């Protein structure tokens, strides 16, 4: 066997053993060998190497087998041997999350900024915040990688933003290169909605599914797509831009949706929080609608509060919103036939009435079989979804079998 092939097989065996120990430990060497179908000699070599890196530790002896004999030494995964950093950048803030290798949260911090036109200055502040949180070179050396979730389309080859409405000045800046140089670790970049999708898939509402579409609803709308456990980006990294889907084919009319629909062309224009707020503001100002919103600033927060108190205008608008979103859901179901659709973002988080409407009307979709088969859930991770998704980029090789990209794993292992 060629040396390079030998090392590759060994590394695959090592990460397979590590996953078994992480998921099923404490566990003995012989039980790992049995589960993997390899010899005890191979497992012994793997375990010794992993013990040297402190990824594993021995915790004492277990019970003897029914045949008797020596009690086996039990092994346990050391999740604190490495750290993952997730960063989600917004228009005027960056959220930082630091976890161990089990994605257990150790530290959180928000960096606020008014001017987002200087990417290097903001990235420098993020790096300083990470260094301050960890506090020592030993902990900085334990960083396995940094995941960054950003609004816009990502140039994965260059490690930069290709295009972004909210971070226009960041386009083309070498973000990945900067972070890798400053923190001496590997950096990963992803679109924010796709990162949220990764977070929900690994640790949220999608953790028991393999084929998922996540729909984010806020100032705009977008989707992340998981196919057989992998994020799907598309040829130009723009998969999931469902806000550009045209409404016309769905028969949406002003007669059916008098509050929200005013001949917009695309779903993203109707389902944005901007349109929801502007539509209700217009309805209140034009009169004819008794509403708790009268005399108040119309925002998503006040709409949600009024609807919770039974305000008819707010509830009517949210009912329209839910029904229009159900039409979009039907298209997603017909296109992708996923096992699960997750709805998230500010509208779903603050207005649970919308979620109930979407589920009700989606289940009466065009094609009864896929509509009945699909599960529809609300996002579980809320404001942490993006940062946990960014952490997921770093830890995905430890959490997602069976295909392995060894980059993260190699950073754990001592040089030969």
**pLDDT at 53 (0 to 100):** 81
User: What's the pLDDT band for 402 if we cut at 50, 70, 90?
Assistant: very low
Q: Is the pLDDT of residue 6 over 60?
A: no
**180 with 187: CB under 8 angstroms?**
yes
Tokens of 53: 């890196």
CA 283 to mean position of chain CA atoms: 36
Q: How far apart are CA 378 and CA 352, in angstroms?
A: 9
Residue 18 burial (10 A CB sphere; 0-12, 13-18, 19+): buried
190 forms beta bridges with 149
Residue 144 pLDDT more than 80? yes
**pLDDT greater at residue 411 or residue 330:** 330
Q: 260 with 347: CB under 8 angstroms? A: no
What does the mean pLDDT of the chain come to? 88
The distance of Cα 87 from the centroid of its chain, to the nearest Å, equals 12
Residue range 336-354: average pLDDT? 94
Rounded Cα gap, residues 15 and 7, in angstroms = 12
Domains contained in the chain, CATH given: 3-77 (1.10.10.10), 81-202+385-412 (3.30.420.40), 207-380 (3.30.420.40)
245-263 pLDDT, tens digit per residue, is 998 766 777 888 999 999 9
pTM of the model: 0.86
Backbone angles phi, psi at 22, to 5 degrees: -65, -45
- Contact call for residues 29 and 40 (beta carbons, < 8 A): yes
Q: What angle do CA 123, 127, 128 make, to 5 degrees?
A: 115
55 confidence band (pLDDT: 50, 70, 90) = confident
Specify the range with the lowest mean pLDDT, choosing from 97-101, 185-189, 364-368: 364-368
């Amino acid at each position: 066997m060629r040396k390079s092939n030998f090392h590759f097989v060994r590394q695959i065996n090592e990460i397979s053993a590590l996953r078994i120990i992480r998921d099923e430990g404490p566990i003995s060497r012989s039980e790992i060998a049995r589960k993997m179908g390899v010899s005890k000699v191979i497992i012994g070599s793997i375990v010794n190497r992993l013990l040297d890196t402190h990824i594993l530790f021995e915790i004492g002896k277990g019970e003897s087998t029914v045949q008797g004999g020596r009690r086996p030494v039990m092994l346990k995964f050391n999740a604190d041997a490495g750290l993952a950093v997730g960063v989600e950048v917004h228009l005027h803030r960056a959220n930082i999350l630091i976890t161990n290798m089990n994605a257990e949260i150790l530290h959180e911090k928000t960096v606020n900024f008014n001017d987002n036109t200087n990417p290097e200055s903001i990235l420098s502040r993020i790096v300083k915040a990470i260094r301050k949180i960890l506090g020592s070179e030993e902990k900085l050396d334990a960083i396995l990688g940094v995941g960054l979730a950003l609004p816009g389309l990502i140039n994965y080859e260059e490690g930069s933003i290709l295009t972004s409405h909210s971070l226009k000045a960041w386009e083309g800046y070498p973000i990945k290169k900067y972070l890798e140089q400053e923190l001496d670790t590997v950096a990963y970049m992803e679109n924010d909605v796709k990162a949220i999708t990764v977070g929900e898939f690994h640790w949220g509402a999608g953790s028991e599914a393999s084929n998922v579409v996540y729909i984010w609803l806020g100032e705009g709308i977008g989707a992340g797509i998981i196919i057989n456990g992998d994020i799907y980006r598309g040829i130009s990294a723009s998969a999931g831009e469902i806000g550009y889907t045209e409404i016309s084919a769905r028969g949406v009319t002003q007669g059916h949706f008098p509050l929200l629909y005013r001949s917009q062309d695309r779903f993203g224009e109707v389902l944005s929080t901007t349109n929801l707020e502007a539509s209700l503001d217009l309805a209140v100002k034009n009169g004819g609608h008794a509403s708790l919103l009268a005399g108040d600033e119309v925002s998503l927060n006040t709409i949600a509060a009024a609807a919770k108190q039974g305000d008819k205008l707010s509830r009517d608008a949210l009912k329209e919103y839910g029904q229009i979103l159900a039409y979009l859901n039907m298209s997603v179901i017909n296109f992708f036939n996923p096992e699960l659709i997750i709805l998230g973002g500010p509208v779903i988080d603050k207005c649970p009435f919308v979620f109930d409407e979407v589920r009700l009307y989606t289940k009466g979709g065009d094609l009864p079989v896929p509509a009945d088969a699909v599960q529809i859930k609300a996002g579980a991770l809320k404001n942490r979804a993006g940062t946990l998704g960014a952490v997921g980029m770093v830890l995905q090789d430890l959490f997602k079998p069976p295909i392995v990209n060894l980059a993260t794993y190699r950073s754990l292992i001592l040089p030969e």
